[in-house]
Amino acid sequence: MAGISGIGSGIDTAALVQALVNAEKAPKEAQLARLEKATTTKFTGLGQLKSAVSDFSSALATLKKTETFNQRSTTSSDKAAVSATAGNTASTGSYSLQVSRLASTSKVSTQVIAGGSTADFQAGTLTLTRGDGQGGTESFVLDVADGDTLQTIRDNINSQFADQGISANLINDPATGQTRLVLSSDKSGDGRDLNVVGADTGGVASNSLTLLNVDASIAQTGGAAGYITQAKNAQFTLDGLAMESATNSVANAVSDVTFTLANTTTSAVTVKVEQGTSAIVSEINKFVTAYNKLLGTANQLTSIVPVSGSNPVVGPLAGDATARNLISGVRAELVSASGLEGIQVLAELGISAQKDGTLKVDSDKLGKAVADNFGTLSNFFTGDTGLMTRLENRVKPYTDTTGIIQQRLDSLQGTIKSVDKQRESLNLRMAKVEERLVARFTAMDTLVAQLQKTSERLTQQLASLPGSVKS
């Protein structure tokens, strides 16, 4: 407020101008603050509602799929030995398995290498061959530089052949200090054994690569090279029929059923493939939980809670029609009959509404209803007239990117931006008002100062006139 001194008038004109500006600005500023708070509160509430609706919509997806109601479950009398998984097309039934041998992979050892991990080798190649299980072989060649140590050879095998399922390690006997190179393959089944052949091209290093030769048909004994384990097929009987498998995951014995062999058995293990009632019950429970969560969110956002001796606690969407219409539409579908064969309403599945509107599940009744109506249960949930599709159609207008909630969020966002612009405009207008007041009070102060000086001169002149009496 440059230019306002108050010297002439003796009035604190700066404070007076500020008070006048604040008095004119306060009503509009308070109005904008109220609008911003109300808009932000509603914006936050609608955002929470949209998130809850999206979560509920996601919960409908699984029960909307027909394949959900074709699921199969499996049980085993000895899961530690044999387990199974079944696809949607698997026939229900019971199977008896007895495992006499598990599928194994090839693991071979070189002879004991004098000098251990630091033993150096002449230049050449180390060729690893592995059977393909079909009578053929696959080869992997490692180039060895003159002076490469046993440790270097191990590291190079691991870095170059890891993708082929071949690994190497150095095994040291703590009692004797003897070291040997051990190689492993991850391919199981007959005809998958590893062989190692070293070939020198010369050099000054101490050892020949032929020291690393391994014949996978000879068992390892003492300090000699040979196999530790051979690659073998799993051997088992299925319903009394002798069978073999190159892996312990048996996928072709029964259509759309995969047996996993984990241990040999001394007696038969019973594996049952049954209708997937437990999986369906689980999905239905998830749906009920999702609806109750949506309802809880909507109730919280629209609630008005009385507080003794104080103003009530009001939810951000209290009195808002959006949440009310959404829940009303969903509830209407929940109580509608399907009109198709099988289950007609949720109550027949043991799902009932409580006083607060939430759904409650009678687990025993649900399990029995699913088992008894397994063949027709999908009619109630899936298809164009199924409950999930009808519910999805109810919530879709609220979840779409151009839907009801998003349109309102965009509108509220516009209001918030408008408040910011109005504040800028108000500040500019108040700056001009302040400027006008400063100019007026400066002029007044100047005039008062001039009048005071004139008064002082007149007083002095009158005092100097002849006959004047001086006190």
SS3 per residue for 100-138: EECCEEEEEECCCCCCHHHCEECEEEEEEEEECCCCCEE
CA 419, chain centre distance (Å): 37
φ and ψ at residue 45, rounded to 5 degrees: -60, -45
Model confidence over 125-152: pLDDT tens digits? Answer: 999 999 999 999 999 999 999 999 999 9
Statement to judge: residues 158 and 286 lie in one domain:
no
The tokens describing 295, both together, are 């309802």
CA 393, chain centre distance (Å): 26
Beta bridge partners, 98, equal 237
Statement to judge: residues 242 and 383 lie in one domain:
no
The number of distinct structural domains making up the chain is: 3
Q: When comparing pLDDT for 466 and 286, which is higher? A: 286
Q: What percent of the chain has pLDDT over 70?
A: 97
Q: What percent of the chain has pLDDT over 90?
A: 55
Phi-psi region at 21: left, alpha or beta (left = phi > 0; alpha = psi -120 to 50): alpha
Statement to judge: residues 198 and 335 lie in one domain:
no
Model confidence over 76-112: pLDDT tens digits? Answer: 999 999 999 998 889 889 999 999 999 999 999 999 9
Q: Name the residue range of residue 251's domain.
A: 72-102+234-275
φ and ψ at residue 121, rounded to 5 degrees: -130, 155
- Degrees, nearest 5: CA angle 302-305-309: 150
Q: Is the pLDDT of residue 13 over 90?
A: no
Statement to judge: residues 60 and 164 lie in one domain:
no
Q: What is the pLDDT of residue 103?
A: 97
Statement to judge: residues 161 and 92 lie in one domain:
no
Of the residues 275, 295, 330, which one is the last residue of a structural domain?
Answer: 275
Statement to judge: residues 63 and 132 lie in one domain:
no
Q: How far apart are CA 73 and CA 82, in angstroms?
A: 15
Q: When comparing pLDDT for 6 and 391, which is higher? A: 391
Q: What is the pLDDT of residue 117?
A: 94
Statement to judge: residues 287 and 365 lie in one domain:
yes
Q: Give residue 59's pLDDT band: very low, low, confident or very high (50, 70, 90).
A: confident
Statement to judge: residues 111 and 225 lie in one domain:
yes
Q: How far apart are CA 93 and CA 225, in angstroms?
A: 49
Model confidence over 153-174: pLDDT tens digits? Answer: 999 999 999 999 999 999 999 8
Q: How far apart are CA 471 and CA 458, in angstroms?
A: 17
Q: How far apart are CA 107 and CA 186, in angstroms?
A: 9
CATH number at residue 124: 3.30.70
Q: What is the pLDDT of residue 408?
A: 84
Q: What predicted TM-score, i.e. pTM, was given to this entire model?
A: 0.63
Statement to judge: residues 240 and 328 lie in one domain:
no
